[in-house]
């Protein structure tokens, strides 16, 4: 089994804060830059699973960088450099506490709620008579609150504004950016024989302006179907062949786990971990059209530290002195 990176504890020059998320560790430098390390942790149902996934961090980081570059002419984003296959360095922004989820198809949690009788999602009315994985007449935006811990909650535009989470102008800018990004992402996916089913985007403020932050169009933030055979499987009521993290959720549910209190995460066997790793690599190659080149596995921490220090010294030569132990 390949080496994985599941924890980090860097101490970079000028470091002013660190945040350990579900799958990413974010280091703030001089309150102006952010070093985002994509670890090999994996989460589902807002729970961090016990086993790391080889090459997951690299695949996610490199897909996100590819997509940020491909959409920079449409939406301003936070990315400055990718000094290591598992790291992106960018501008520090004031995060807006809203995730903009956009859905082109009735799938995943939306389908589960629809099947249970739900016909309105985040203030959006849903048509009657839909079936699983069917396309909406047009993509719908279903925001969620960005929880510090625990589960995110669905919220409508009106509720988000009334609660002071965002202003009306900020929400509408985020919504316009979301639709533009989803359109571009869908076109890029179609070129590679994939369907971008649904995804999420996060935004922040830099100098008062809304910009795109975090990753986009990765299997952690998106769901992809294979276009070939989609219509036939839909008509037959069969599951779609997909490249996303949904199969991990389905495996967990089949083994009695949905992140609820008292439930235990099932054992992740080496075979299952390898299967998940292969899925991430497959999506990288599919969506970018490039062959995945695994980065050196030995001393992941030392490799990342060295690469980030070099990058920071170029961006801010005054802070180039490395700290002992990094």
Q: Assess whether 135 and 79 both reside in one domain.
A: no
- Look at residue 100 in the predicted model and tell me its pLDDT: 98
Residues 152 and 182 in one domain: yes
Reading the block at residue 43, the tokens are: 């989460």
Within-domain flag for 56: yes
Residues 6+ apart with CB under 8 A from 42: 23, 48, 49, 51, 52, 53, 56, 220, 245, 248, 276
Distance CA 317, CA 131 (A): 57
Express each pLDDT in 248-293 by its tens digit.
Answer: 988 999 999 999 999 999 999 999 999 999 988 988 998 899 999 9
pLDDT value, residue 83: 98
Residue 277 domain-assigned (yes or no): yes
209 and 98 within one domain: yes
Q: Which of 225, 172, 187, 219 is nearest to 200 (CA)?
A: 219
| Residue 214 to residue 61: CA distance in whole angstroms | 10
pLDDT of residue 46: 84
CB 244 within 8 A of CB 100: no
- Report, as an integer, the average pLDDT of 196-207: 97
Per-residue pLDDT of 23-62, as tens digits, reads 999 999 999 999 999 999 999 988 999 999 999 999 999 9
- Is the pLDDT at 322 greater than 50? The verdict is no
- Which residues in 62-72 are b (16+ Cβ under 10 Å) and which e? bbbbbbbebbe
**What pTM does this model have?**
0.88
Q: Are residues 84 and 99 in the same domain?
A: no
Query: Is there a domain that residue 163 lies in?
Result: yes
How confident is the prediction for the chain on average, in pLDDT? 92
pLDDT confidence of residue 166: 97
Residue 9 has pLDDT above 70, yes or no: yes
**Cβ proximity of 308 and 87 under 8 Å:** yes
From the list 295, 294, 277, 308, the residue with the least C-alpha distance to 88 is 308
Indicate which CATH number applies to the domain containing 196.
Answer: 3.30.470.20
The token pair that represents 39 in the structure block: 């670890």
Q: What is the mean pLDDT of residues 184-213?
A: 96
């Amino acid at each position: 089994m390949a080496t994985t990176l599941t924890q980090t504890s860097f101490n970079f020059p000028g470091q002013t804060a660190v945040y350990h998320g579900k799958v990413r560790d974010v280091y703030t430098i001089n309150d102006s830059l952010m070093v985002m390390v994509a670890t090999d942790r994996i989460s589902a149902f807002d729970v961090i699973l016990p086993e790391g996934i080889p090459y997951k961090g690299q695949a996610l980081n490199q897909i996100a960088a590819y997509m940020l570059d491909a959409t920079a002419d449409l939406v301003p984003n936070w990315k400055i450099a990718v000094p290591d296959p598992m790291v992106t360095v960018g501008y520090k922004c004031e995060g807006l506490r809203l995730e903009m989820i956009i859905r082109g198809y009735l799938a995943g949690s939306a389908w589960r709620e629809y099947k249970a009788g739900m016909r309105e999602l985040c203030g959006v009315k849903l048509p009657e008579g839909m079936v699983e994985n069917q396309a909406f007449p047009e993509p719908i935006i279903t925001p969620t609150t960005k929880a510090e811990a625990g589960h995110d909650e669905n919220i409508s535009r009106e509720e988000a504004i009334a609660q002071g989470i965002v202003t009306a102008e900020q929400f509408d800018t985020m919504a316009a950016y979301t639709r533009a990004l989803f359109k571009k992402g869908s076109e890029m996916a179609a070129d590679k024989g994939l369907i971008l089913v649904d995804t999420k985007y996060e935004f922040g403020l830099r100098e008062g302006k809304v910009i795109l932050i975090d990753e986009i169009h990765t299997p952690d933030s998106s769901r992809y179907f294979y276009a070939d055979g989609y219509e036939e499987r839909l008509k037959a009521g069969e599951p779609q062949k997909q490249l996303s993290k949904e199969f991990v959720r389905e495996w967990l549910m089949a083994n009695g786990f949905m992140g609820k209190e008292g439930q235990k995460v099932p054992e992740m066997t080496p075979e299952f971990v390898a299967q998940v790793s292969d899925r991430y690599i497959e999506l990288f190659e599919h969506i970018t059209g490039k062959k995945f080149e695994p980065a050196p596995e030995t001393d992941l921490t030392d490799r990342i530290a060295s690469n980030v220090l070099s990058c920071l010294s170029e961006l801010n030569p005054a802070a180039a002195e490395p700290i002992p132990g990094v």
